[in-house]
Amino acid sequence: NAGVMQNPRHLVRRRGQEARLRCSPMKGHSHVYWYRQLPEEGLKFMVYLQKENIIDESGMPKERFSAEFPKEGPSILRIQQVVRGDSAAYFCASSPLGGNEQYFGPGTRLTVT
Amino acid sequence: EDKVVQSPLSLVVHEGDTVTLNCSYEVTNFRSLLWYKQEKKAPTFLFMLTSSGIEKKSGRLSSILDKKELFSILNITATQTGDSAIYLCAVEENYGQNFVFGPGTRLSVLP
């Protein structure tokens, strides 16, 4: 049973480009969470999604950031017009319906040059 | 393969008890070990440990790292029902290029 998969593991973008981060939840999990970890800081919640539905996006910046979890395929965190301050590790976690445990992926390290 | 193991996976205690949660790891190019408390939504950062033998304390919580034996413990004294949560251990390696999370320890503190 494969765990949560994230790709790419490392992503380098120049300022102004778009970054797309993918997260495939564990088999049977219908909920996905995205977090951002800045250097020397803890995880910061960004968004919580169910298939085809955003449950809670209170941690998501209002501009340039968006997330989706389509019926088929991975969840996507999209950052448009990246800036240096977007450089961070982005983690995805998944949980089953009704479950509290979150299973974390290995993260995507985004570097904006 | 890099891995982080936590034990026990589940623990039930009564208020006032002291608990010790364990985290052992096998990673290349270790940089730091982090402890989080996870309740409803986002994990709450507790400690970051980088050096062996230096205890970090925050109220009733304390943690220490042993880089020789590759483990860390998280102690909670005089537990309260509000300590009930999943405690996650994560190891940072390769100078921030990779994080590996353990499965978590589910702590239940009964009144």
Backbone angles phi, psi at B49, to 5 degrees: -120, 130
Nearest-by-Cβ selection for B42 from A9, A35, A41:
A35
Q: What are phi and psi of A34, to 5 degrees?
A: -115, 140
B110 pLDDT higher than 80: yes
Are A109 and B96 within 8 A, CB to CB? yes
CB atoms within 10 A of CB A11: 18
B41–A48 CB contact, under 8 Å? yes
User: Is A1 a residue whose pLDDT tops 60?
Assistant: no
* A42/B36 touch (CB, cutoff 8 Å), yes or no: yes
- Segment B51-65, tens digit of pLDDT: 898 899 999 999 999
Predicted confidence (pLDDT) at residue A99 exceeds the cutoff of 80: no
With cut-offs at 50, 70 and 90, classify the pLDDT of residue B97.
low
pLDDT value at residue B27? 85
Within 10 Å of residue A82's Cβ, how many Cβ atoms?
A: 21
CB-count exposure of residue B43 (10 Å: 0-12, 13-18, 19+): buried
pLDDT at residue B15 above 90?
yes
pLDDT-derived band at A60 (thresholds 50, 70, 90) equals very high
Return the amino acid letter for B49.
Answer: L
Chain A residue numbers with beta carbons less than 8 Å from the beta carbon of B2 are none
The DSSP H or E segment spanning A48 is strand A43-50
For residue B102, is pLDDT > 90?
A: no
Residue A92 identity? C
Supply the mean pLDDT for chain A.
90
Determine the 3-state secondary structure of B69 from DSSP.
coil
| Average pLDDT, integer, range B80-96 | 86
Please give the pLDDT value at position B95: 59
Q: Give the pLDDT score at A39.
A: 65
For residue B81, what pLDDT is reported? 96
